[in-house]
Structure 1
Amino acid sequence: MTSTIDTAALHDWISRFAVAMNDNREWLTELDSAIGDADHGANMARGMAAVVDKLDAGAPETIDELLKGVGMTLVSSVGGASGPLYGTFFLRMGMTAGAVPTLDAASLATALRAGLDGVVARGKAEAGDKTMYDAMAPAVDALDSTLAAGAGLAAALVAAADAAAAGRDATRPLVARKGRASYLGERSAGHLDPGAASTAILFETLAAAAQDAAG
């Protein structure tokens, strides 16, 4: 099954993610207060609000313009680790997607993989470190495998979102090996990683936007 996603649908994704970051601001802050700086929810809500303001000022016509604009805004407006990491994710996605109005399923998967690679290059995280990587990598892997099995894009993105949520949940028993949470040692176990939690929302909102675009 062949399926595509266009700039308007990806714009919708970004808008949904911004709303979700605002709606989940207190929960993400609560997660971060247990093992971090207690600012992940506030930082992400503020950064995505800045992204929406930028997009409202002029809707990009191509996917690279859209995603690179999101990335640059996050890098410049979000403090802590989340701004550079999410910013790099969107910048790499945009660079890989190119100046096109539409991506097919394989091209979107390639762009998401490039975003993941950017996060790895920036944060040096690996599986089991208790970071956003633990939600993002399973999501990208699930997207690839589900598309390879013949699913359409919308269904594959649902599988990716489910994998991201499972990856988020799997961070609870882990001992953090990266970031501020790693300073806590064994005390970091028993808590969800806030970056993995926001990453699960990232893929959940992408799946919802794709489903609506597909009708």
Structure 2
Amino acid sequence: MPDLFDQFDAFLGGWCEFPSDELAKTRQVFRPVSVPRGGFLTRAGDRTDRVAFIGRGLVRLYYTGPDGVERAHGFRAENQLVCAYSAALRGESADVSIQALEPCSLLVASRAAFEQLRAGHQCWRELTRRLTEELYVRQERRQRELLLDDAATRYLSFVTEHADLARRLTQRQIASYVGVTPVALSRIRTRLISVNDTAAVRS
């Protein structure tokens, strides 16, 4: 396994050019943290002030409705940054929970320390700009799918475009992201298998 900081350097360099002295600052600002399966990076209601880079592992971001039902907002895995972003921007308590679905090896920095980096070299502001743009595109697509696509289409899109991720998730977790109950997802999967089998026979 590569060193977490070397892995983080490679991640940063994939977004924009980072001078070596700026990469060296990550060793001062970020610290290694391990989170066990089922542990939380953030719970809804927490004051959130941390930014985490995922070196190894998988987390889910989810909301809990008034009925107590958990609804998946998204998932983050290796070589991604994760935090309760909107809450951090507003300086408010998080409305989203971030939980480890697998044992996670992270590099974690306080939001204040990360902002000090951004106030320095332009590379950090460029990184934030590009990541924010990607997050916006991802969120816009997610909203469009929920508004316009039926559940079967949302499921097929997810397992096709995120096949590696889908293999690491339970059907209950996928159902929560698609926006259906596990029972409804089971029916969708059965129907899709039946359609595929029929098409195979016809061909």
TM-score range, shorter chain: under 0.3
Q: Which has the higher helix share?
A: 1
Q: TM (normalized to structure 2)? A: 0.27
Give TM-score scaled by structure 1 length: 0.26
Structure having the higher strand fraction is 2
